[in-house]
A = this chain, B = another copy of it.
């Protein structure tokens, strides 16, 4: 029996798509640089169907690619070689909720924002948040260990996963950790699947943890004189008050937001860099503490001006200056890199990366923004108007080895929160040793002996 017939048997025909539009749409993610060419798109509705599919794929030797919200930036969900794309669009239900455990059992196709809203309806909070939370799916978040803008207080997605049901590449169903808080019974495979970019098997259910809603989140935007000063500001605030975000962006980035989006500057004074600091003001003494930290930073000359939100609306407006950057600069065909180092090394690292870019291509404009609070910098190189797109990307990729060499020397990460996928495969060696990569391949072989699950991704 041919493969399409078998798919129709497993899924019923209306959940097997082979039309060109669907193949193009479901075969790619936000990277856009790869040409999709899957065999079919299927839409399972249960763990059993996923298991049947994996067993069939093992017998037929056909590859499967997991597909969530397809908001990835590294090609982790791209299908270019007649694979079957497994979309979780129809496994998008919240199955269970317990207010004592503060746990929510979700299907992998639940949208991040759907979980955030569900939590809020139950007077609780799901704290992982980032630009694509309106379309990214939970299965994808877990598979890339998504981070975002509140990591400094709440950690990454990993912190919020109490349990996972998975179908391994061998077709076995594993029920990992049963939603327990404490469970010291051997290797915790849950953490192996988190961040594995779907290369070990499919997540078909996830039990997520919720927490209390933060009260009166307040935003402080500060103009900062340089990057070393930014680090001092970070340390000062960190030691004064519990932060829920500590973001930054450069003046170049802000100008672009002001010019292109028409957003108001936070204050008139211009500064080379801006810090956006968020914290909970559950009592007015917190506001006083934040103001004292600000004054201390101003006295030291690290900070030239600042504004603190006095309302929810003002806080939202200030956040837009940071949150809308990625979307706004997409008009400039940016070449993106998602990097991290130890927080304390940020000034030296930023300097060296800028040198590497400027030495080779002084005509390129570099925009910096990101999450200082966790050492994660988004480097964006903007395309000069005069240059063709293909030429620009080729030139940029030539700078990569220089950037990654600096990253390696400083024990940083070539992908802080976007994953490796296809786009960074060749650069994995700058962050992981030869031995580690070999061990990864061996571990994959255990969970996916025939190599049918998302082959060619990561390594």
Q: Does A159 reach chain B (CB closer than 8 Å)?
A: yes
Enumerate A381-415 residues with CB–CB distance to B below 8 Å: 411-415
For A101, what are the chain B residues with a Cβ–Cβ distance below 8 Å?
A: 342-344, 375
| Cβ B100 vs Cβ A235 within 8 A | yes
| Cβ A375 vs Cβ B182 within 8 A | yes
Q: How far is the CA of A270 from the CA of B443 in the complex (A)?
A: 55
| Cβ A342 vs Cβ B103 within 8 A | yes
| Cβ A340 vs Cβ B186 within 8 A | no
Tell me the smallest distance from the CB of A289 to a CB of chain B, in Å: 10
Q: Does A459 reach chain B (CB closer than 8 Å)?
A: yes
Summarize A's interface: helix, strand, loop or mixed. loop
| Cβ A180 vs Cβ B415 within 8 A | no
Known A185-B432, A189-B436, A439-B447: A340·B180 in contact at CB below 8 Å: yes
Q: Which stretch of A17-25, A43-51, A131-139, A416-424 is in the interface?
A: A416-424
For A189, what are the chain B residues with a Cβ–Cβ distance below 8 Å?
A: 436, 439
Q: Which stretch of A53-61, A143-151, A219-227 is in the interface?
A: A143-151
Tell me the smallest distance from the CB of A444 to a CB of chain B, in Å: 8
Q: Does A198 reach chain B (CB closer than 8 Å)?
A: no
Tell me the smallest distance from the CB of A75 to a CB of chain B, in Å: 13
For A194, what are the chain B residues with a Cβ–Cβ distance below 8 Å?
A: 188, 191
Which residue of B has the minimal Cβ distance to A178?
Answer: B411
Q: How far is the CA of A372 from the CA of B158 in the complex (A)?
A: 23
| Cβ B183 vs Cβ A340 within 8 A | yes
| Cβ A145 vs Cβ B184 within 8 A | yes
Q: Does A119 reach chain B (CB closer than 8 Å)?
A: no
For A440, what are the chain B residues with a Cβ–Cβ distance below 8 Å?
A: 186-187
Known A182-B374, A420-B186, A446-B443: A98·B431 in contact at CB below 8 Å: no
Tell me the smallest distance from the CB of A257 to a CB of chain B, in Å: 24
| Cβ B145 vs Cβ A428 within 8 A | no
Known A187-B440, A212-B242, A442-B446: A151·B182 in contact at CB below 8 Å: yes
| Cβ B212 vs Cβ A343 within 8 A | no
| Cβ A416 vs Cβ B376 within 8 A | no
| Cβ A182 vs Cβ B428 within 8 A | no
Tell me the smallest distance from the CB of A264 to a CB of chain B, in Å: 31
Which residue of B has the minimal Cβ distance to A447?
Answer: B439
Q: How far is the CA of A458 from the CA of B87 in the complex (A)?
A: 37
| Cβ A420 vs Cβ B184 within 8 A | yes
For A446, what are the chain B residues with a Cβ–Cβ distance below 8 Å?
A: 439, 442-443, 446
Tell me the smallest distance from the CB of A440 to a CB of chain B, in Å: 5
Q: How far is the CA of A231 from the CA of B99 in the complex (A)?
A: 11
| Cβ A343 vs Cβ B239 within 8 A | no
Q: Does A123 reach chain B (CB closer than 8 Å)?
A: yes
Known A100-B234, A283-B285, A436-B174: A428·B185 in contact at CB below 8 Å: yes
Supplied contacts A101-B375, A151-B182, 4 more A-B pairs, CB within 8 Å: A100-B234, A174-B435, A179-B342, A186-B436
